[in-house]
Amino acid sequence: MRGRMRRTMAVLCGVPFVMVLGNSLLFPVLPAMQAQMHLSRVQASLVVTAFSVPAGVCIPLAGWLADRVGRRRVMVPALLLFGGGALLAGGMAAARGPYGLVLAGRAVQGLGAAGMAQMATVLAADLLRGPQRPRALGLLEAANGLGKGLSPILGGLLGLWAWFAPFFFFAGLSFLQAGATLWAVPESIPASVGQGRPWRILREKGVALGACLGAGAATLYLLFGSLFFLAETLERRWGVAPLPAGMLLAIPVGGLAATSYLGGRLLQGRPEWAKGMVVAGLTLLAAVLGALAAHQQMVYLLAAGSLLGIGAGSVLSALNLLVTSAVPAAKRGVVTSLYGAVRFFGVALGPLSFGLFMPRGAAVLFGGAAGLAAAGALAAALLLHQGRLLGGAGDRPGGRRIA
């Protein structure tokens, strides 16, 4: 990459980094929020769900809009909306305001996240072609994972001052990111071409794309559900304070970030390895979750968390390449945003489902989770036809213009 493109990619990496703070930064302070606002475990988990569900619902709309008006024209207002929602939720939490208004602020954040979620990925795929694309997509997924890794530590540090401080932190960061995006990121507006109509894409590649979407949703469902379980266990069973809890929660997401980056480097020049990485990552998730059904000691949980991060990073770095390469630039926003939507639903449902099933015991909780991961690995092996996804549609010349 040339100097200008390195600067652009550095700023683009800040978008998924900021977005992921919307959930991960709160995990270390969720127990304190639960106590201070007199919430049940399920109500506390809804603070995550209220952010993720609106994002998941609205991401396809943001992608459709970005295909028509441009990626940056969607991404910058979304960053400002994300910060505004954070200020609302944080202000209501600090004032011990109504729980419903805290959830409303989180929902506004989720609407902003819808315009951030996949825009950086789509824009990078527009700007870069050939072997540079998987490396750039790996960097973006690594930035996402780095945000997940640092945010529990940052959340724990901020929680030492006030349990509601994380809201104000990522509000300020999102406003700074909006300014940096306007300064350093060029606009990308796909050309209006007739090729790649949505129904034709679905007819030719729908099964393979469906396998990708299912694998992405399942991976993040299992990862965030496990993080919620780990946060609850550290606080309630072992009495770990927010800061050390955040440092321990950083272990699995650190593994995710490192594996995502290395996965992108590995796929550079070897795109045919993508399907194998998806199947291998889901198989690792199934094995680790199955082991957790029998072992609940802290050392097992932390080791399992690291392996879960590695498995998830393998899956997500490969899926990013497969999905963005499956369609022409003129339809990339819509299709990639559908992928982003199911990822958000996975994040939304993971903590909620794990919170509901935790009272039924580890065998039921992790046995079911392992079964889901194993089913995902089998579906990917049978249905993920990477030849159809890596057919070069996203690399055709003349598919975009840079403003």
Q: Which residues contact 61 (CB under 8 A, 6 or more apart)?
A: 114
Structural domains in the chain plus CATH codes? 3-402 (1.20.1250.20)
* CA within 13 Å, CB half, 154: 22
Q: Is the pTM of this model over 0.85?
A: no
The predicted pLDDT at position 81 comes to: 94
Q: What is the C-alpha to C-alpha distance for residues 38 and 50, in angstroms, rounded to an integer?
A: 18
Structure tokens at 141: 């997924």
Q: What is the C-alpha to C-alpha distance for residues 21 and 29, in angstroms, rounded to an integer?
A: 13
Of the candidates 279, 288, 278, the residue with the CA atom closest to the CA atom of residue 308: 288
Concatenate the DSSP letters of all residues of 146-159 into one string. HHHHHHHHHHHHHH
The predicted pLDDT at position 112 comes to: 92
The predicted pLDDT at position 1 comes to: 53
Strand partners, 257: none
- Per residue of the chain (403 residues), what is the pLDDT tens digit? 566 788 888 899 899 888 878 777 887 788 888 888 888 877 887 888 888 788 878 888 888 888 788 888 999 999 999 999 999 998 888 887 788 899 999 999 999 988 886 788 888 878 877 677 777 877 887 787 777 778 777 887 888 888 889 889 989 999 999 999 998 888 876 655 444 455 566 667 778 888 999 999 999 999 989 888 887 788 777 777 767 777 787 788 778 878 888 888 888 778 888 999 999 999 999 999 999 888 777 778 888 888 998 999 899 989 988 887 777 766 667 777 788 788 878 877 888 888 888 888 888 999 999 999 999 999 999 988 777 677 644 444 333 433 3
**Do 242 and 160 meet the contact criterion of CB atoms below 8 Å apart?**
yes
CA R_g for the chain: 20
Of the candidates 172, 290, 313, 304, the residue with the CA atom closest to the CA atom of residue 249: 304
CB count within 10 Å of CB 96 equals 12
SS (H, E, C) 326-379: CCCHHHHHHHHHHHHHHHHHHHHHHHHHHHHHHHHCHHHHHHHHHHHHHHHHHH
